Amino acid sequence: MRTSRVLLVLLLAVGAAACSSKGKVREPAKLASIEAPAVKPQTVWSHSAGKGSNGEFGGLRLALEADALFAADTAGRVYAFEPKTGKRLWEASTQSRVISGPGVSGDLVLVGTLDAEVIALSRADGKEKWRRSVSSEVMSAPVGNGDVVVARSGDGRVYGLTATRGDRVWLQDRTVPNLTLRGMSTPLLAGNRVYVGFDNGRLAALKLSDGTPEWEQVVAVPSGRTELERLTDVDASLLDNGKDLFAASFGGEVACLDGDTGQVLWRRSIKSYTGFAEAGDFIIVTDESGVVWALDARTGAAAWKQEGLLNRRLSPPVSFKDWIVVGDFEGYLHWLDPKDGKIVGRSREGSDPIRAALVTGDDLLYVMNNTGRVAAVHLK
């Protein structure tokens, strides 16, 4: 089965990240003390969102809206919290093996399952609205615009479903390589278009209404002798900064594209499977070895790189207030100055890994670790 081959690649990828070319173990960087920290983060509230990912590698994440902060766990529970206080608004059990989401589409909260289902719950109270079977496990969060829900399955298919009942209105199919990383980038909605990164190293723009391809572009071309070396998955979260589109491949390329035409404006040799943050004129990306890069959004030139967090298995970066924040495998949050990449502060939200993307509100930064601890952080 393809699932076993994907899982094998996950183990191989983790091993590759931990070992050098000579087979020596790459130790995580020791954290240097910070003299006179420029930031003083403080936890405002924290609560449990079930078991979290419970050791599973998937697409569980936080989803922040004005009315609630949504979370889910692999036991099939979905949660809504009041963003300012952390008060639990509702909890729902899907009785399914949830592996991705939540996503929010209009009055729906959406999750995907290991059993090839997309489940839609009421945003108001968590009651189930509908569930729809697809062809394979749904490893990235389903998303939508209130009318159309877009979901991806692990066999390379992208579904367009009606928000009212989950009926299929369109389907796009792509060939999946024999081996891939376990995980998928979440489809990115932008106006009447949805951008999707595929495991074959390509990025496509589809018309949201009917799934018609508007363009398709190569982000990375397979290279190397082994299948592991030839991985090109576009698993990092995509970024649309209102001008250009940014994508990263595990094959070793970060690319800036014209969102309307797919034309590549620049490329930079960086291997990443996490995602991006925007900070002024810079695009911030964490690579597979734990280096944090700041790239000029117009040219791709490196403005700085921070190597003090090597092999700490960083989360995607996020821009919060005047800082860049990343989580790591020991539950630390590292605060960086976007001007030069200097680490100016550190805080900790438990001792478990932070893999899911951090989420920002007006005044609070929201964090979820692998065991389901959800916390809200603010700066004094």
- Residue 19 belongs to a domain: no
Per residue in 318-332, pLDDT (tens digit) is: 999 999 999 999 999
pLDDT of res. 14 = 46
The average pLDDT across 296-300 equals 96
Joined together, the tokens standing for residue 363 give 């005044």
The average pLDDT across 125-134 equals 98
Question: How does the average pLDDT of the chain come out, rounded?
Answer: 90
- Residue 280 belongs to a domain: yes
Strand 98-105 to 88-93 pairing: unpaired
Read off the DSSP letter of residue 13. Answer: H
Count CB-CB contacts under 10 A for residue 18.
14
Q: Is the pLDDT of residue 102 over 60?
A: yes
- What is the C-alpha separation between 29 and 38, in angstroms, rounded? 21
pLDDT of res. 17 = 46
- Residue 25 belongs to a domain: no
- pLDDT confidence band for 137 (50 / 70 / 90): very high
- pLDDT confidence band for 100 (50 / 70 / 90): very high
| Count of structural domains, the chain | 1
- What is the C-alpha separation between 284 and 85, in angstroms, rounded? 30
CATH number of residue 198's parent domain:
2.130.10.10
Which domain does 105 fall in, by range? 41-379
Higher pLDDT, 175 or 283: 283
- Residue 284 belongs to a domain: yes
pLDDT of res. 224 = 67
Joined together, the tokens standing for residue 98 give 């949830």
pLDDT of res. 247 = 94
Q: Is the pLDDT of residue 139 over 50?
A: yes
Strand order in the sheet with 128-133: 59-60, 98-105, 108-113, 117-122, 128-133
Q: Is the pLDDT of residue 358 over 80?
A: yes
Percentages of the chain per state (helix, strand, coil), in multiples of 5: 5, 45, 55
Strand 98-105 to 59-60 pairing: parallel
- pLDDT confidence band for 7 (50 / 70 / 90): very low
Q: Is the pLDDT of residue 6 over 50?
A: no
346, 29 in Cβ contact below 8 A?
no
> Strand, coil or helix: what is 215?
strand
Phi, psi of 30 (to 5 degrees): -75, 140
Q: Is the pLDDT of residue 4 over 80?
A: no
> Strand, coil or helix: what is 259?
coil
pLDDT of res. 26 = 79
- Residue 275 belongs to a domain: yes
Burial of 21-33, coded b for 16+ CB within 10 Å and e otherwise, reads eeeeeeebeeeee
- pLDDT confidence band for 119 (50 / 70 / 90): very high
pLDDT of res. 2 = 43
pLDDT of res. 369 = 96
Q: Shortest CA distance to 44 belongs to which of 69, 79, 66?
A: 69
Per residue in 208-261, pLDDT (tens digit) is: 999 999 999 988 776 667 767 667 688 889 999 988 999 998 878 899 999 999
Per residue in 156-200, pLDDT (tens digit) is: 899 999 999 999 999 999 877 565 666 678 999 999 999 999 888
Q: Is the pLDDT of residue 22 over 50?
A: no
160, 150 in Cβ contact below 8 A?
yes
- Residue 22 belongs to a domain: no
- Residue 252 belongs to a domain: yes
pLDDT of res. 318 = 97
- What is the C-alpha separation between 377 and 380, in angstroms, rounded? 10
- Residue 33 belongs to a domain: no
- pLDDT confidence band for 19 (50 / 70 / 90): very low
Percent of the chain with pLDDT over 90: 77
